[in-house]
A and B are shown apart, each in its own frame.
Chain A
Amino acid sequence: MKKLVMIGNGMAGIRTIEEILKLAPEQFKITIFGKEPYPNYNRIKLSNILQGDTSFEEIIMNPLDWYQENHIQLYTGEAVTTIDVEAKHVISDQGRVVEFDELIIATGSKSFILPIPGADKHGVTGFRDIQDCEMMIKSSENDKKAVVIGGGLLGLEAARGLLNLGMQVDVVHLMPDLMERQLDSIASSMLKAELESQGMNFLMEKETVEILGDERVTGLRFKDGSEIEAGLVVMAIGIKSNVKIAKNSGIYVNRGIVVNDFMETSIPHIYAVGECAEHREIVYGLVAPLYEQGKVLAHKICGLPVDPYKGSVTGTQLKVAGIDLYSAGEIVEDSSTKAIKVQNEFDGVYKKILIRDQNIVGVVLYGDTKDSTKLFRMLTKKEDVSGMTSVSLLQSETGEGGSGDVASMPNDELVCGCNGVTKGEIVEAIHKQGLTTLDQVSHCTNAGRSCGRCKPLVSQILAHTLGDQFDAAAAAKTSICGCTTLSREEVVAEIKAKSLTTVKEVMNVLGWNNEEGCTKCRPAINYYLGMIYKDEYKDDRDSRLVNEKIHANIQKDGTYSVVPRMYGGVTTAADLKKIAEVADKYDVPLVKLTGGQRIALFGVKKEDLPNVWADLDMPSGYAYGKTLRTVKTCVGAQFCRYGTQDSMALGIALEKKFERLDTPHKVKMGVSACPRNCSEAGIKDIGFVGIDGGWEIYVGGNGGVDLRPADLLYTVKTEEEVMEITGAYLQYYRETANYLERTSKWLERKGLDHVKEVLANAETRKALNERMDETLKKYNDPWTEAIQNEEIKDQYYAKHTIKVGE
């Protein structure tokens, strides 16, 4: 596999990777370096965070799971410092060296900080990343007086945020008009009046020459000698591409890293994309063009044909509540343009369209931006407008708004500017894939995944396309999968209320739009039914995915692995002999110790499975299941000089009691006999640590994708108490977690205190344990079952070979 390295873990870069994964999922071994300590997040939404509309968690676009699922090696909080173009490797600030066949530079940009005395004082910041945001939020707790330098998009969004944080805000601007690069003076003055009424104070045509204060900022001095006070200064005067590493390695750099129409830099196999790249002398600062670049680059890197990137026209919007403005293309009239203008001072509406040679070349809308998508389409498509009247250009065709607009919207009209998604693409996805929620549409088409301003329109299209089937409340929530609009809670409630007893019945009665479900809902429903009806429910084997259906782990070549139980990681000479003989007899290609203290046989053919199991004559280790996997134990008091408890005995007892139990996701346990914790119980779903005179019970640990240390739940004295608490805890998890939610995530969602509170009640604990015990009654060893049952053998394990000619 070729090695692809990317420097920068931001919006443009990750979109490029997403495109590459779509085109050629297995072509590259991908490594990404990100200087910030987070996975890719939606930088655009920092404005919304500051304005208090959303939280940091909600703006993560690609959670760590995503990187893991796509086998991407991600190093966060680690910056690349050197690109060695000869040796074809990069070196990070941690000294890590990673080789590449192809390299993408996607380092974005940083806030431009005025080179004036005092700019390095505490309390002066740019507005670029989560850290800047956190700093501003923190400042607002102590200081009440903020100054924003720069009256452009970013500056105004920052200023609005600081107002919301309860600060007094002065906006300092060098020019006579706000947002002069996007608005003409009429629109600009309307904007200024509106923002003033929201409480912003403007100091126009002021040039800052010095930042005052000792260590911390106390104020600003302007060129005209005047001064103002400030406890926080936000510089939002522009951005500067991050080009240093490229420049130092000999890559040609101008304002940005110079690229051609295929995003190639001056050095072969090295590409640049995003705000760090300069294409045809333009460095873009909005995501829409960057995503276009990403698409072209992805094709190029995968060796697929693609049209060259020829540059983009961009449209701008301001994300401040109560303000509706839009601009695209040229702003100011010249001798070759003709303008159509509408100004309605009473309603606060202003519209201007610039036309050159029958084509729209510029749009400025203030107060009413309903026509923005239509006009932007005409602008980018260079539609001939000579036959249209100014009224038809400037009036939405169906006055009243609502879905009428959506109905008359042509299919090629852009709905999501950020991601370049048209109405036609959305409608097609809805029809073809049976989508019913906004979430699903965003997921399938990318529409709405950036600034989010198109979401209302996407919703309208969804409503219009689905007609009567549209259910507004349902469309906004997260359903268990695309086959239904019901959430997990609703499905469980309906199963109970309507006494639904089979997977098929659930899908039927609850009106699944995909009659026989999918790989997401069927295993989930099967689990919920088993959880609700305990030992009365007959498992629906065909609603399980391959591993749980076959009771072995499928490998990528279609063979399986077999892992027999070894309670507490303790085995015997006799068992080891059996395993060795089986490995010999069936030519098992790989025999390996697993992380859970047992032995795995890899590469067993499906048709051999029943015989392998029969020869082993050991119970299934369920290494493939959403169930209790292993209980890892240390050797403990029986042999270890530090041991205070019998960890092996407790481990074996736990494993014997809870083996085979269906759980929402896999569950691992560990038992150590002293705090040295040789069984790593601190990163298990449930971990037990022996102390003098008792056991500590830890929960919510995870050693996998979401590394998480466990929290102490209880300290108990006896093994009986251990069993009682464990049973109640596990059952509470079984009853309240979403299918495929690990205990670590579940515990964070529910809160440790909440769980403690539930388990504190002896009655509740007793009831939970009773339901657990009833459930545990139903399980039999699946391997023995398969060996003894001809029907199962034939249906799931037989291989039918037919010779031609017989």
Chain B
Amino acid sequence: MLQTITRIPVAHYSNLKQRTGYSIKIADKEIALFKVTNGSVYALENHSPHPKGGVLSEGLVSGDYVYCPVYDWKISLIDGLVQAPDKGKVQTYIVEVEDDIIFIKI
């Protein structure tokens, strides 16, 4: 299957607060954007892999992890992996920051 990658501007870097999740809708995809304490920005699918689901953007952010707000799963913002004892993976997206503009590659 042919895949096209699009680069989409989503927010101004300086507008984002640290340790806060933002939910962004791009076409029909819901994405959670996080800026962490060291300034890095991550983008993940805004959906927990827990069988009952739930959004991630409202979760508590600690270092490079977010805790899913509904079932408290700990998820890595870097690679989307759910931390033990739970299992699973969240889709992650490449983020690029240029001149205060954050782009997501989809």
Contact = CB atoms under 8 A, between A and B. Distances in A.
B59 A556 contact: no
B27 A800 contact: no
B70 A543 contact: no
B23 A22 contact: no
Nearest to A433: B84
Contact of B20 (A517, A542, A558): A542
Interface in B18-68: 19-20, 22-27, 37, 50-55, 58-63, 67
Main secondary structure of the interface of B (DSSP, over half): loop
A800 B69 contact: no
Interface in B80-98: 83-85
A803 interface: yes
B63 A802 contact: no
A498 interface: no
A271 to B, nearest CB: 23
Contacts of A558: 53-55
Contacts of A606: 23
Contacts of B51: 24-27
A801 B53 contact: no
Contacts of B101: none
B19 A554 contact: no
> Which of the four size classes fits the interface of chain A?
20 to 34
B24 A801 contact: yes
Nearest to B6: A804
Given A22-B85, A432-B84, A802-B26, A519 B72 contact: yes
Contact of B23 (A24, A432, A800, A804): A800
Given A516-B63, A558-B55, A804-B27, A545 B20 contact: no
Contacts of B72: 519
A556 B83 CA distance: 21
Nearest to B66: A519
Contact of A518 (B25, B62, B70, B106): B62
A606 B30 CA distance: 14
A487 B27 CA distance: 48
Nearest to A791: B17
Contact of B37 (A516, A518, A799): A516
A110 interface: no
A518 B67 contact: yes
B41 to A, nearest CB: 14
A546 B61 contact: no
A518 B60 CA distance: 8
B20 A795 contact: yes
Contacts of B8: 802, 804
B8 to A, nearest CB: 6
A313 interface: no
B11 interface: yes
Contacts of A432: 84
A545 B26 contact: no
Nearest to A515: B63
Contacts of B20: 542, 795
Interface of A: 22, 24-27, 429, 432-433, 444, 514-519, 522, 542-543, 545-546, 549-550, 554, 556-558, 606, 795, 799-804
12 contacts: A22-B85, A25-B51, A27-B51, A516-B19, A518-B62, A542-B61, A545-B60, A550-B58, A554-B58, A556-B52, A800-B22, A802-B24
Q: Which 5 A-B pairs have the closest CB atoms?
A: A546-B69, A516-B62, A26-B51, A546-B58, A801-B25
